[in-house]
């Protein structure tokens, strides 16, 4: 099951064992990320008040637009790494890694300049209240100014996951989470820095976590350069962009839908903005196990697709869907049964708590849809078909905007929850159908090739 250097080889061993061995360290990693994001929100809300929380939460969809774009690139690029690893083609793996780094530097520079330049106009378009726009700008300028740290970590962790290493990202996040919470508390409660302290703590912690991942990558034998290796060429850059850009656009297109929802929420008032921020934190936290199962499915599928082990891909899908179902039973029901208690952990105003208590049960009932979506979408991506997830991002955007536009005037804040649910269901249907079609086609092609190969061997033996 372990191939070399402690990396899991998903093309060998029992699928459930290899996936779960990879899944649990990564689940803890994801939960720690959500925990320190949750703690960051709680510290801001309790230390600076609901308006500061609204300012930080108001940046959520915009951060997802920019940071989600970079994460999509990293995930798309890493699919090629997983496939090369599955093929055991280490020369091409090193060339792909070299091309990834060069592209990342260029893209990071462009995203940093664009995000800082257009931050104020976009916040104005989102109907950001005057009482929170100053803090939103401060938080955004620091976060986007340090975008290179975010991409540094995401790229390094994505490569390690593709190679079957989920333990090093866990180690990195344990260190950075402790550091982030400590700095948050220091900056906000002791030094009284305001929201910029929370943003600075996030950037510093990401630099640390990225460095931990990079040190691990440098120690892997088959990633070390040989004396003479061909440099990346235009074809390789095109392959990376073909995989990365659709995934990046999927995240950004989805973020546009979220920004439109944020626009309508901001139009209702600051109390609704605070409530929506708290609800978004819970959704992100409670979907984390299924999101982790999706990342596991991407690495598992990528390696087995490279090795042409399609029988293992389907077995892995069942394992990851079972994880998603288990997570739904435990966490979705918490949103349904305990909405007021959950809301009160992040919010202090009775009005805000009542709004959040309307939102959480609706999304909790349908959390299984987004949980299954993560698994199917990453399976499609792992097989090297990123256009389908991108199209599903468009479906999510259209459904979010359509539902919120049609119903917010009739049912108010609850329309935001229904917009989320409809987006999840629409994207799930598309990705599940695409997986079924692509899997049948690709596995059929491989079976035909093997039959032809065996037939040729038989003819040669007869001769």
**For residues 102-113, average pLDDT:** 90
Extract the runs of DSSP E, i.e. beta strands, from 101-204.
Answer: none
CA nearest to 385, candidates 225, 243, 209: 243
* Contact assessment for residue 371 and residue 325, using Cβ atoms and an 8 Å cutoff: yes
Distances (CA, A) of 408 to 60, 211, 214, 394: 20, 45, 46, 21
> Distance (Å, rounded) from C-alpha 161 to C-alpha 158?
5
First and final CA of the chain: distance in angstroms?
40
| pLDDT tens-digit readout, 435-451 | 999 988 887 776 566 55
Reply yes or no on whether the pLDDT at 2 is more than 50. no
Reply yes or no on whether the pLDDT at 455 is more than 70. no
> Distance (Å, rounded) from C-alpha 60 to C-alpha 416?
15
CA nearest to 80, candidates 67, 68, 97: 97
Reply yes or no on whether the pLDDT at 431 is more than 90. yes
High-pLDDT (> 70) share of the chain, %: 91
- What are the structure tokens assigned to 396, written together? 């999510």
Q: Which residue has the higher pLDDT, 420 or 56?
A: 420
| pLDDT tens-digit readout, 338-393 | 999 999 888 878 888 999 999 999 999 999 999 999 999 999 988 888 888 889 98
Could you please report the per-residue DSSP string of 236-269? Answer: HHHHHHHHHHHHHHHHHHHHHHHHHHHHHHHHH-
| pLDDT tens-digit readout, 158-212 | 899 888 888 898 888 888 888 888 887 888 778 877 777 888 888 898 899 999 9
The mean pLDDT of the chain is: 85
- What are the structure tokens assigned to 245, written together? 């850009």
* Contact assessment for residue 404 and residue 261, using Cβ atoms and an 8 Å cutoff: yes
**For residues 113-120, average pLDDT:** 90
> Distance (Å, rounded) from C-alpha 343 to C-alpha 351?
11
Tell the residue number behind the tokens 């061993």, with chain if given.
Answer: 13
Phi, psi of 254 (to 5 degrees): -60, -40
Reply yes or no on whether the pLDDT at 97 is more than 70. yes
State the pLDDT at residue 228: 56
pLDDT band at 457 (very low <50, low <70, confident <90, very high): low
Extract the runs of DSSP E, i.e. beta strands, from 150-282.
Answer: none
**For residues 5-17, average pLDDT:** 82
Q: Select, from the ranges 37-41, 116-120, 432-436, the one with the highest average predicted confidence (pLDDT).
A: 432-436
| pLDDT tens-digit readout, 21-71 | 889 888 887 777 777 677 776 777 666 766 777 777 667 767 777 888 888
* pTM for the predicted model, two decimal places: 0.76
Reply yes or no on whether the pLDDT at 1 is more than 50. no
DSSP reduced 3-state for 272: helix
* Contact assessment for residue 33 and residue 177, using Cβ atoms and an 8 Å cutoff: yes
> Distance (Å, rounded) from C-alpha 198 to C-alpha 41?
9
Crossing angle for the helix pair 350-365 and 270-286, nearest 10 degrees?
Answer: 40
CA nearest to 302, candidates 42, 445, 93: 93
Mean pLDDT lowest for which of 100-104, 374-378, 428-432?
100-104
Q: Which residue has the higher pLDDT, 457 or 34?
A: 34
**For residues 409-415, average pLDDT:** 90
Tallying the residues shown for the chain, one arrives at: 463
Q: Which residue has the higher pLDDT, 231 or 98?
A: 98
> Distance (Å, rounded) from C-alpha 25 to C-alpha 280?
24
Reply yes or no on whether the pLDDT at 3 is more than 80. no
**For residues 250-263, average pLDDT:** 83
DSSP state of 12: S
| pLDDT tens-digit readout, 310-323 | 889 999 999 999 99
């Amino acid at each position: 099951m372990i191939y070399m250097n402690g990396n899991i080889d998903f093309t060998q061993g029992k699928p459930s064992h290899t996936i779960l061995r990879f899944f649990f360290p990564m689940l803890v990693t994801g939960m720690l990320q959500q925990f320190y994001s949750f703690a960051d929100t709680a510290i801001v809300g309790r230390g600076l008040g609901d308006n500061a929380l609204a300012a930080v939460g108001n940046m959520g969809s915009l951060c997802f637009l920019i940071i989600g774009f970079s994460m999509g690139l990293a995930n798309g690029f890493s699919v090629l790494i997983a496939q090369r690893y599955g093929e055991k083609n280490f020369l091409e793996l090193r060339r792909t890694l070299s091309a990834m780094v060069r592209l990342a530097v260029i893209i990071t520079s462009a995203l940093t300049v664009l995000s800082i330049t257009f931050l104020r106009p976009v916040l104005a378009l989102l109907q950001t209240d005057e009482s929170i726009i100053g803090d939103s700008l401060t938080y955004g300028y620091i976060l986007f100014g340090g975008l290179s740290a975010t991409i540094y970590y995401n790229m390094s962790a994505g490569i390690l996951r593709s190679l079957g290493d989920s333990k090093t990202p866990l180690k990195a996040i344990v260190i950075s989470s402790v550091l982030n919470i400590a700095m948050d508390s220091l900056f906000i409660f002791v030094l009284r820095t305001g929201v910029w302290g929370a943003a600075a703590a996030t950037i510093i912690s990401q630099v640390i976590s990225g460095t931990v991942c990079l040190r691990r990558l440098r120690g892997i034998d088959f990633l070390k350069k040989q004396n003479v290796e061909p440099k990346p060429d235009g074809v390789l850059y095109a392959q990376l962009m073909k995989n990365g850009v659709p995934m990046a656009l999927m995240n950004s297109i989805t973020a546009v839908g979220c920004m439109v929802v944020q626009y309508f929420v901001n139009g209702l008032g600051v109390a609704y903005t605070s409530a929506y921020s708290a609800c978004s934190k819970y959704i992100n936290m409670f979907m984390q196990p299924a999101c982790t199962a999706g990342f596991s499915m991407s690495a598992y599928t990528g390696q087995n697709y490279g090795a042409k082990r399609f029988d293992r891909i389907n077995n892995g899908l069942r394992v990851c869907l079972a994880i998603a179902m288990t997570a739904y039973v435990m966490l979705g029901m918490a949103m349904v049964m305990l909405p007021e208690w959950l809301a009160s952990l992040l919010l202090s105003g009775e009005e805000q708590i009542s709004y959040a208590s309307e939102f959480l049960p609706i999304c909790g009932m349908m959390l299984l849809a987004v949980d299954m979506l993560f698994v199917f979408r990453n399976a499609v991506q792992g097989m090297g078909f990123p256009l389908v997830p991108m199209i599903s991002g468009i479906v999510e955007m259209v459904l979010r905007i359509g539902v919120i536009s049609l119903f917010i005037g009739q049912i108010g804040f609850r329309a935001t929850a229904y917009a989320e649910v409809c987006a999840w269901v629409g994207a799930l249907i598309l990705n599940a159908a695409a997986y079924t079609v692509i899997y049948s086609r690709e596995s059929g092609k491989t079976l035909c090739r093997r039959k032809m190969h065996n037939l040729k061997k038989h003819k040669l033996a007869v001769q």
